Structure 1
Amino acid sequence: MEAMEVDSSSKNGGFLLQRKQSLYTSLDSCFEIKKEEMYRGQQFSQIYYARLYLMRTLLYSLVPNWKPLLPVCTVLGLEEGKECIIVGTLYKHMKLKPSILEEYSKERSAIPLVKPHNFIHPDDYLVLEDESGRVKLRGDVLLPSVYVTGIVVALLGKGSDAGYFWVEDILEAGLPHQVERPIESGEDKYVILVSGLGVGSSSSNPLQFQLLVDHITGHLGDAKEQSIAAKIVQVIIAGNSVEIPCGLLNGQNLSSKDQSRLSEPIKELDILLTQIAAGVPVDIMPGPNDPANFSLPQQPLHRCLFPGASAYNTFKSCHNPHSLKLDDVSLLGTSGQNVDDLEKYSDAKGKLDSMERTLRWRHLAPTAPNTLGCYPFTDRDPFFLESCPHVYFIGNQEKYDTRLIKGEEGQIVRLICIPRFSETGVAVVLNMRNLECHTLSFGTQFG
């Protein structure tokens, strides 16, 4: 644990405003790819075995309270007409799931390709798999459109002579245990959540970002606004902070002019991050467009990219997903890839529904490694949720949205969709005291 040393104050009308501080604890160690885990040709099946072992142990502990008198079988041990419980990993057979071979053959045909937003189809069906075998699932309670490949569940039902398992009831892991936090204790402390800054992109407005920086650092507004800004204890930037012109990266040697064009957005971002870090602790996460590794968990952006901001101990380059604790409030978030991918392969009313499902399935990225890029861990699954966060956020969304959900054991989680700042000019403000949040909008239109 470490307390942030922030020496940021603002004089206004003779009064000296002292910035509030919070105790910061990083919980990112599980997302770090350690030296002994370096890639040596291992297959992705290992992470599924690790996930099944973790989740099955958990589900076995929940079964006695769910259906106490029924036996638990393996897929191979199913008997026709005998009611039992089976635990395994779901696999979703999808008619429209993209295939690189099909895409190649279609590209060579004269018919233009139409890329659908979502790949679900009425003919999709689910299969349950464990170490002993796999069985096709049927039943009215298990909707293929809701689930995706990679989720571990317990199913109650009967085997049939036609070779499928008729599902009568389903048990998901549910929200994990949550460490209690004091109810509405202490004073207002704010966390600024921003995403999709897109420095260097055509939609990015430098003035908009500068206004956000000035607000955070207390250089904007009257005495009242500055007193609110002094209560900002943390800034979290959730991915896609820069947009590098990819057209320059064609495998050829770059001219000095093109090298300058590549580095310009990162230099501009560093200047702004330095201004924030001089007054407030700031965490920056990598996103799909940032100069970081593609597969989850993304490792921190290298500190050499930010020579100015790195000089401050308030600046932290973090993993994606990112997990941290501020005082008594635990926060967990991603740059959006996990939920964006989930939305392609399942049906939900919105991003918040998909976020809630990942918590109830107790897995941050269930579609990894099937359709979402993921590092091939051999003996662990870092996306398994051992504890329930108080705040769960995703970045790079089209619009701001939020919801407060409650678990059966009294867990309370604030879900937040952070919109792309370069397109909306909107940042999200979270009050750690009561988990309430609102938006800050930075328009640059002058009439």
Structure 2
Amino acid sequence: MSETTTAPAAAKRNIAKTLELDTRLLGMIGAFVVVCLVFNVLTDGRFLTPRNIFNLTIQTVSVAIMATGMVFVIVTRHIDLSVGSVLATCSAVMAVTQTALLPNALGLELGHPLIPWIAISVGIITGALIGAFHGWMIGYLAIPAFIVTLGGLLVWRNVAWYITSGQTIGPLDPTFMAFGGINGTLGTSTSWIIGLVATAAAIAGLWNARRAKVAHEQPVKPVWAETVLSALIASGILGFIAILNAYEVPERRLARMFEDRGEVMPEGYTEAYGLPISVLLLIGIAVIMTIIAKRTRMGRYIFATGGNPDAAELSGINTRLLTVKIFTMVGVLCAISAVVASARLANHSNDIGTLDELRVIAAAVIGGTALSGGIGTIHGAILGALIMQSLQSGMAMVGVDAPFQNIVVGSVLVLAVLVDIIYRKRTGGK
């Protein structure tokens, strides 16, 4: 009896091992699908409309960008509680730069082609300096990251208030606001081109990796499995583009756009938004961070340090400098997130980035980053951010009160950690 009962389970494990399936990632995708389907039923089909999916993606971008950096922080057994406040300071600096400093100092008014790029550069430098300062205190002064970033949470939130004197700063430069989502999209044709290029690149990478394994005589998945995976990748990317292209610009907005150009809108004319620039920015950052994690010496050092800090230091890794680099990277990502967040709002407000530190940490943890260090993925953190945003957006559409929304998100975070602990015990920590 024992042999017949264990045989199916063993077969399933062998199939999963042969196909190199990440069962935890599949579980997360399954949970995300269930969340979407449940809210789609509760909202009478409004949750999975192109309009809501478009809004869901642009709302996820800011937190997801910071979550990619939080993965490296948590993997090295640190924590960063200051990302929301650093975002606020960078946003305040960029807002004041483009609305006050540049017009007064250089005579550059909003709309000048240099305004957004100077403002963004100043914001990124600000974020990098703040992050490097945090990393220096953590790495070289040996102050715990929890204390340093908790202090940063209080300090930088109020620095942002003093920079703007507590005022909302806006409107921002039109080109700058193109990074916010609905004010900056690529249209249908460009979106399809990017989708096709991304599909070709993803499939080429998949088969190139297979050829490299074969060349080094490593085990590979069956050809049929690679083919199925390629089809899933293509359908996922192109399906996402098709959904975004299905969201059409409202007729009144189109009419105003034609009026602003001094033209008359043709009768029956329609136009779709397509891929938002902010989502394209997130995809680019995800690719870069994944390359850093998997293909660079710094990535190997990060995961080695998280796995065993003492052994990493004894092996010659400069863990102090590595800490400075990681927190500098997080500061830069906070500045980029500040661009997206303030551009989406079309202004800088005092409450921008409030509680983002908790959302970012939750996204990384829900995405499979182990608080014990050494384990984490970029795509997992982005999926975690998407799951969180889907929960909040769905509950808002259903009419759930904001306090109860936070209760649910907090409960999901604890449950995700519990599931992760159980999963790692069963898989031997892999």
TM-score when scaled to structure 2?
A: 0.27
Higher relative contact order (CA 8 A, sep 6+): 2
Report the structure, 1 or 2, having the larger helix content. 2
TM-score when scaled to structure 1?
A: 0.26
Report the structure, 1 or 2, having the larger strand content. 1
